[in-house]
Structure 1
Amino acid sequence: MELRSLFIDFNSYFASVEQQDEPALRGKPVGVVPVMADSTCCIAASYEAKRYGVKTGTLVRDAKRLCPGIRLVPARPAVYVGYHHRLLELINRHIPVAHVGSIDEMACELLGRERERAHAIAIARALKADLAAEFPAIRASIGIAPNAFLAKTATDMQKPDGLVVLEAADLPWALHRLELRDLCGIGPAMEKRLHRLGIRSVEQLCSAPIRVLHKAWGSVEGDRFHRRLRGEHLPEPAPHGASSISHSHVLPPELRHGAGAETVLKKLLQKAAARMRHGKLVARRLQAKIKYLDAPSWKEIAYCNDCDDTRTLLGHLDELLAHRPRHGRPLAVSVVLWDLCERIGTTDDLFAAGGQNASSPLDPVLDRINARFGAQKIGYASARSAAAPMRIAFNRIPDPGREDPTRGNP
């Protein structure tokens, strides 16, 4: 069984980029936060901060207690995206990147002699040497294995700055020391399902028959998981097109009121609509949600009949917001455009009043202006005062041309 995959995972990525971009932060405990407020939580922590018990999700007030000297910095998504592309260029000098899993994870395919252990390790070490020379504050763990699943798993077995090779002879015993949740594809719900089947350790998981994993996953994905654990190289299923586009935002303290929540929702909707048009898609449903600090969450859905027109979508949002609770302090807001389909092949509603839902010639012009001069340079006035900067999801790299940067590029 040959080595086929080399996986790179950048350690404590957001915090490491902050240390790279600001040398005064190097060697210091750093926490990255969405807003500068004690009521929020750290979205990333440097290894210096992790030694004190600070981790992703730690409340800022607790981080200050655990690590009195922690340096808190506001998140700068545009900077992280900029470094992501620079790091991709560095990796591609050594081996082509086959797949970008997230802003801090990349998979590469080993070919020919690269599949020999010595050659694969040499590539990893050369990559690490260039990384240390060009980005000294950013480190990466590299896993090498017969498939991408095991290579990704290997990156978690030695952090920070690790290099782990898993060969056929190492399987499955090398995995036994891991927890079930350490394996990609096993979250809280799947862990409970495995527990109900009597599987409480990775050793038990590795020895379970394929029919048991099929039952646990409820589909052929359980069979695939069984085979990946044994090092089989399986082609990934063809990805499906996006079925939804969403944006969410935790409100800063100064916007935790009704008008602030509505304004941010309108800005998020404009961003989502621009992304949808870029993908040549239309939406059939719009969902708006407000999470309150002192009241139950509110959520409503509107049907919008194959729409990609921002003004029409804002009208639907206004109709939803007319029914939102008038009491309570908003904490977070989100919008989702559901039931997406390709623009080609859809027909505008013949009976919609005033051409409602028809594509506006204005929107593509606004999209081009924002793509050329920077996100949200021009837009509808109802959202101009809102602060809803670019955010980075786990499986999507934002485009700074269509989403707000917080503080420029590196």
Structure 2
Amino acid sequence: MNLEISKEEAQIMHIDLNSAYATAEQQAHKSLRGKPIGVTNRISKHCCVIAASYEAKALGVKVGMRLDEVQQFIPDFVMLETDPPKYHHVYQTLCKIMKDYSPDVKMKSIDEGVIDFHGTADYHKRPLTEIGMEIKERVRKEIGSHMRINVGIGTNRFLAKEAAGWHKPDGLDVIDFRNIKKYYAERKLTDLTGIASHFEARLNAANIFTPTEFLNASSDTLRRLVFRSVIGEDWYQRLRGYEVDNVITKLGNVGRQFVLDVRKADDNVILPRFQYLCETTGKKLRYNNVDARGVYVWAIFQTGDHWYVRKMHKQPFFTDRDIYAKALYLFNQRPKHMIITAMGITLYKLEPSTRSQQSIFDEVNKAEWLTTAIDEVNERYGNFILFSANALEGKH
């Protein structure tokens, strides 16, 4: 594969609400504006910061720091407990504003989302930078005068997110073929979304030390030598502005994710939770009366690195056993020495189920009948009354 940098006009916009929880509190309480504050779930001496204001970040406060730790170097630091209804209002209003500009809006979290403007040029008839400025002004008027957002515009979701982080806070930037090399030249590898210390080490081992060298690396080098999977091909295209991060969602999917309650690089801990994750995803698949042909599994490690792999199958599948077997084959390709903090599975390439059509193969019928019987018991007596014994620890 030998691709030039994409010359497509940038049509993806990433919206990032600055320090959302902390800024929402400063919007609600004028006395807190301009001061270093943080937000936590429940205040105690050893509670941790889950969100910090820009004033706090500028003084060295990081997410995960304990309150007593922060107070050692910021005695007047203010910690507040979370207020979910307030943040939900901010989320709903931001979502409504974004949907006024395109029907294709995906909220990534409570404080960031993506607008895909493909197919809307005849409607808007103006530059996306102008629309971005309008959205920033609407956020100030409709959510609050203290609220600030970063707006990034790019030819794919990756570059749009990078652009949104270029000039925080309150920035508006475009990254496309005109300035992409300049942007990479000003960055370190770990500045790029999705590249933390583990992947940086892999890149360094292949004599890739800068984003510019990353961009210039061949698809074969990234796939075979660095990432040793299809991830390398995705990075080759992603860095050049081609879209690879929206393929699954366009096809339709069902999935689940799991934040690890016990964090060890130990299959005895991880696999029961992974199997439970697969079985709950299978339940969602069958509830929607569809079968799947694609499996996508991912993990986030304690280092901050992201890992994923996917595979398409010729024949559709739907049973818990098949889902777990196919997902486990992929999941076992992860770097097993690394500690996982979160993991997930997505089933894609969905198609209407043919389970009502009896197969000529008795084994296929038995698998369907058993799966249906288990689902019916669980529906009648409560979700996951019956499940695999191996998944018992994951359920709890």
Structure 2 counterpart of 1:209: 218
Using the size of structure 1 for normalisation, the TM-score is: 0.60
1:36 alignment partner, SS class: coil
Aligned partner of 1:81 among 75, 79, 88: 88
Separation in 1, partners of 2:375, 2:124: 61
Separation in 1, partners of 2:74, 2:54: 12
Alignment of 1:66-105 (within 5 A): 66-105=73-112
- Given that 2:254 and 2:284 are in contact with CA atoms closer than 8 Å, whether structure 1 keeps it comes out as no
- Given that 2:105 and 2:116 are in contact with CA atoms closer than 8 Å, whether structure 1 keeps it comes out as yes
Structure 1 counterpart of 2:196: 187
The offset of 1:126, in angstroms, is 0.6
Structure 1 counterpart of 2:267: none
Structure 2 counterpart of 1:361: 380
Structure 1 residues 63 and 335 mapped into 2: Cα distance closer, same or farther (>3 Å)?
closer
Separation in 2, partners of 1:356, 1:114: 48
- Given that 2:258 and 2:342 are in contact with CA atoms closer than 8 Å, whether structure 1 keeps it comes out as yes
- Given that 1:245 and 1:276 are in contact with CA atoms closer than 8 Å, whether structure 2 keeps it comes out as no
Separation in 1, partners of 2:60, 2:137: 30
Alignment of 1:120-199 (within 5 A): 120-134=128-142, 135-199=144-208
The offset of 1:358, in angstroms, is 2.1
- Given that 1:53 and 1:66 are in contact with CA atoms closer than 8 Å, whether structure 2 keeps it comes out as no
Separation in 1, partners of 2:174, 2:286: 39
Gaps spanning 5+ residues in structure 1: where?
A: 251-268, 282-304, 307-333, 365-410
1:133 corresponds to which letter in structure 2? Answer: K
Structure 1 residues 234 and 4 mapped into 2: Cα distance closer, same or farther (>3 Å)?
farther
The offset of 1:243, in angstroms, is 5.8
Q: Deviations over 1:2-57 (max 9, x none)?
A: 11211111111121122233344333221011221232321110011112111212
Structure 1 residues 348 and 203 mapped into 2: Cα distance closer, same or farther (>3 Å)?
same
Identity percentage of aligned residues? 27
Q: Deviations over 1:215-266 (max 9, x none)?
A: 222223322222222223457332585565546679xxxxxxxxxxxxxxxx
Structure 2 counterpart of 1:219: 229
The offset of 1:204, in angstroms, is 1.6
- What RMSD in Å do the two structures reach over aligned CA positions? 4.1
Separation in 1, partners of 2:47, 2:198: 26
Q: Verify: 1:65 aligned to 2:79, yes or no.
A: no
Structure 1 counterpart of 2:50: 43
1:37 corresponds to which letter in structure 2? Answer: S
- Given that 1:3 and 1:115 are in contact with CA atoms closer than 8 Å, whether structure 2 keeps it comes out as no
1:50 alignment partner, SS class: helix
2:158 alignment partner, SS class: helix
Separation in 2, partners of 1:108, 1:33: 30
1:99 alignment partner, SS class: strand
Gaps spanning 5+ residues in structure 2: where?
A: 1-6, 263-275, 289-318, 321-340, 356-367, 384-396
1:35 alignment partner, SS class: coil
Structure 1 residues 349 and 125 mapped into 2: Cα distance closer, same or farther (>3 Å)?
closer
Higher-RCO chain (CA-CA 8 Å, sequence separation at least 6): 1
Using the size of structure 2 for normalisation, the TM-score is: 0.62
- Given that 1:114 and 1:120 are in contact with CA atoms closer than 8 Å, whether structure 2 keeps it comes out as no
- Given that 1:246 and 1:335 are in contact with CA atoms closer than 8 Å, whether structure 2 keeps it comes out as yes
Aligned partner of 2:38 among 31, 40, 44: 31
Q: Deviations over 1:96-136 (max 9, x none)?
A: 45322222221112245489996111100111111112222
Alignment of 1:317-328 (within 5 A): none
The offset of 1:347, in angstroms, is 4.6
2:105 alignment partner, SS class: strand
2:159 corresponds to which letter in structure 1? Answer: L
2:14 alignment partner, SS class: strand
Structure 2 counterpart of 1:296: none
- Given that 1:8 and 1:141 are in contact with CA atoms closer than 8 Å, whether structure 2 keeps it comes out as yes
2:72 alignment partner, SS class: helix
Structure 2 counterpart of 1:119: 127
Separation in 2, partners of 1:42, 1:336: 23
Separation in 2, partners of 1:338, 1:95: 28
Structure 1 counterpart of 2:238: 228
1:141 alignment partner, SS class: strand
The offset of 1:140, in angstroms, is 0.8
1:220 corresponds to which letter in structure 2? Answer: V
The offset of 1:161, in angstroms, is 0.6
Structure 1 residues 195 and 123 mapped into 2: Cα distance closer, same or farther (>3 Å)?
same
- Given that 1:348 and 1:357 are in contact with CA atoms closer than 8 Å, whether structure 2 keeps it comes out as no
